[in-house]
Structure 1
Amino acid sequence: MFTKILQAECIKLKRKWLRFLLFLGPAGVIGLTLVDYSVRYEYLTQQNPNVWEGLLHELNITLPIAFLLGGTILASNVAHIEYHRSSWKQLLSLPVSRLSVYTAKFVVVMFMLLIASAVLLIGIIGLGWWLGFGLPPSWKTLFVYTFYPFFSAIPFVAIQIWLSMLFKNQSRSLALGIVMSVAMSGMRELPSWFFWQWPMLVFSDYRNTYMITGVIIGVFLYAAGALHFIKKDVAYMLWQLCKIEWFKLFKTKAWTYLFVSPILIAAILFVGDQAMPNGRMKWLMADALIANVHGLLFYPLIGGLVTSFICRYEHEAGGWKQLLSLPVTRTSVYGAKLITSAAFMGILQVLVFVVLLGVGMLKGYPNAIPLKMIAGNMLGGWVAVLPILAFMLAVSMALSSFGASLTVNVILTLPNLFVANSERFGPWYPWTQPMYGMLGVTGKASWGLMLTTQNFLAVVISSFLLFGAAGLLYFQRKHI
């Protein structure tokens, strides 16, 4: 059955212009590089004695952008066919599973991108011959550099397919994909765990890691998108529950904690401004100060507070029985509470980011603001707090006492003061990860903490999956 669905997807795409994109994209990359060499041939060949390595460097300017744009267009078109003809009901009324339909569209997009990579390989060999470079000295290197964008861009393509299947108006998914594709070419200073920029990092020492991690994260995002497509009605229920949770949260005093860290940070930066060095280091030291005050203590503590407030309504006056007597699933309830708490913590990070920029402008920090670095660090801190939210949500659901869940969070957060500087325990303790994320983890040791991107991703992803799965399993079996 899956084979026939795959054949049907290919037939539908044959009637569109997309098959020409398989050759148009590689031709555009080769053509732009040829024009570049036609104008600056002597300069480019003198810059690097290894002419083939220099050629690959020049191709890397346009290749990642073209690849991401191609993935965006393909992902949008495989979903647009059904939305344009209003044929989703007809398709899903057939004896086919939603998983097969989603998987077929994913496989078609990835296969077309793989063909485009193969066409590009032939084009690069031809370009090198045309420029008089002869055959490549290392075929293995050429294969790696040509197919690297394919493997490292799988997470990006998986997200684009997910969004394209989600939105009827394809301009939304197209706009996001195009903006991210173009923006990444000028944002190579972002933390290296930001997988949107991985296709640009072909010359990194961690190239193989990005390829392998790209495949793993891509499979995970494919599974998440497929699950969402299968449970699309449940997803709508989840969205409604999120709105309800958000309304309940802001009826409590939890919203006041959005301003605790920003106000404290503003006060510290104003008072401690004189002790900071001048120049660009002023921004870096301010960012490090935020990580050590906000990321080390306040951010994890506020995360525990938010999850306690989110479960407080249900623990009072038999709220759990009232909620679960409605036509909702326990998985949706758990997911809505986790998403709401994550959104709350994201807003807090945005406020801290705005406060840092505002204080910097008022105090006359250098005009050259490392905006990409600071934004990436704030995003890293938010990602790193997700495991803490998953753990504390499970604790808050288990303990009816508001004070008891807060006590657990305080007990787990206070060791940060001692563990954070430990090379042995610090990089592996989940409650220290928000601080490390805000310090900006890179491919090398960061701020003398011996923390690498691989370590950071391993701890955050594994602990989030562990805590999230354990919390959901507990809530599914919890006797109300």
Structure 2
Amino acid sequence: MTGRALSSDWLKIRGKGIWFLVFLAPIGLTAMQALNFGLRLDYLKEQYGNHLWEGLLDNVVVFVPLALMLGATILSSMIANVEHEQGSWKQLLAMPITRPAVYLAKFLLACVLLIISCLLLTAGTIGLGLLLGFDAGEIPWTHAIKLGLLPLAGALPVLSLELWLTMVSKNQALPVTLGIVLAVMGMFALSISPYFPLAWAQMAWISPKPFVYVGLGVGAGLLIMLLGMVHFSRKDVA
């Protein structure tokens, strides 16, 4: 049942600008580092020595948590707005598909789109390194693949919360504003505590025990998703 709902959602996002958003973040972050390394390549080569790939990844990942939280906010709003703008909630929920299946399908859709965006960032970062003349034989594939995926796991509570709020509210101003505030707060969350939820996306990369924060993010994200699912199942959605 969830599979049917997910297949339907894939069709609905065509022509809605969602794919543009999926590609925008990785292209933007890659372009930013292309400018950074292009202008300061000699200096950065001296600074990082034989660890150029690691230096590139560290420069990219600084902006990944912010991009993920903003992306989760906007993506959630755009996915929910497919139904809000068309006024098709009642029609959708009258079909032989349960409300939890509808909600879960949209959550999975958001997760898959963000995973695709993270993998595109990995591809763009590796491509940039090769264009800059970094040694292809020294590509840290494991770290490159984790570049967006580990912070995404840490940011999952924000995605779950934003999807919940945008799904149950026709007015998207409050959820989007809240998401922007959370994303900005996330930039300074480490100064509060590494265990502060908004810091988990950063800690999932920089911590010597990243999977502690991955686990916290996934656990809290799934819990918030389930709470949102229960609320959505009981709420009248116009």
TM-score (norm 1): 0.47
Asked if the contact 2:155–2:217 (Cα under 8 Å) also holds between the matched residues in 1, the reply is: yes
Partner of 1:13: 13
Partner of 2:196: 194
**For 1:439-454, what aligned pairs fall within 5 Å after superposition?**
none
Partner of 1:325: none
Please tell me whether residue 128 in structure 1 is matched to residue 161 in structure 2.
Answer: no
Per-residue deviation at 1:184?
1.6
For the residues of structure 2 that align with 1:229 and 1:27, how far apart are their CA atoms? 34
Q: 3-state SS of the aligned residue for 2:194?
A: coil
Asked if the contact 2:26–2:124 (Cα under 8 Å) also holds between the matched residues in 1, the reply is: yes
Partner of 2:171: 169
Per-residue deviation at 1:53?
1.3
Superposed CA deviations along residues 230-252 of structure 1, whole A, max 9, x for unmatched, are 1226xxxxxxxxxxxxxxxxxxx
For the residues of structure 1 that align with 2:70 and 2:129, how far apart are their CA atoms? 25
Superposed CA deviations along residues 221-277 of structure 1, whole A, max 9, x for unmatched, are 1111101111226xxxxxxxxxxxxxxxxxxxxxxxxxxxxxxxxxxxxxxxxxxxx
Asked if the contact 2:100–2:229 (Cα under 8 Å) also holds between the matched residues in 1, the reply is: yes
Asked if the contact 2:119–2:145 (Cα under 8 Å) also holds between the matched residues in 1, the reply is: no
Per-residue deviation at 1:137?
4.0
In structure 2, give the amino acid aligned to 1:188.
L
Partner of 1:46: 46
For the residues of structure 2 that align with 1:187 and 1:222, how far apart are their CA atoms? 22
222, 225, 228: which is aligned to 2:228? Answer: 225
Per-residue deviation at 1:174?
0.9
For the residues of structure 2 that align with 1:17 and 1:90, how far apart are their CA atoms? 23
Asked if the contact 1:72–1:160 (Cα under 8 Å) also holds between the matched residues in 2, the reply is: yes
For the residues of structure 1 that align with 2:19 and 2:139, how far apart are their CA atoms? 32
Measured on the aligned residues, the alpha-carbon RMSD in Å equals 1.5
In structure 2, give the amino acid aligned to 1:109.
A
Runs of 4+ in 1 over 3 A off after TM superposition: none
Identity %: 34
From the CA coordinates, give the structure whose radius of gyration is larger: 1
Number of equivalences? 233
In structure 2, give the amino acid aligned to 1:7.
S
Superposed CA deviations along residues 264-319 of structure 1, whole A, max 9, x for unmatched, are xxxxxxxxxxxxxxxxxxxxxxxxxxxxxxxxxxxxxxxxxxxxxxxxxxxxxxxx
For the residues of structure 2 that align with 1:140 and 1:8, how far apart are their CA atoms? 34
Partner of 2:98: 97
Please tell me whether residue 33 in structure 1 is matched to residue 23 in structure 2.
Answer: no
Partner of 1:141: 143
Asked if the contact 1:45–1:54 (Cα under 8 Å) also holds between the matched residues in 2, the reply is: no
Gaps of 5+ in 1: 234-480
**For 1:209-288, what aligned pairs fall within 5 Å after superposition?**
209-232=212-235
For the residues of structure 1 that align with 2:110 and 2:126, how far apart are their CA atoms? 25
Per-residue deviation at 1:21?
1.7
Asked if the contact 1:69–1:178 (Cα under 8 Å) also holds between the matched residues in 2, the reply is: yes
Asked if the contact 2:53–2:140 (Cα under 8 Å) also holds between the matched residues in 1, the reply is: no
Partner of 1:3: 3
Gaps of 5+ in 2: none
TM-score (norm 2): 0.92
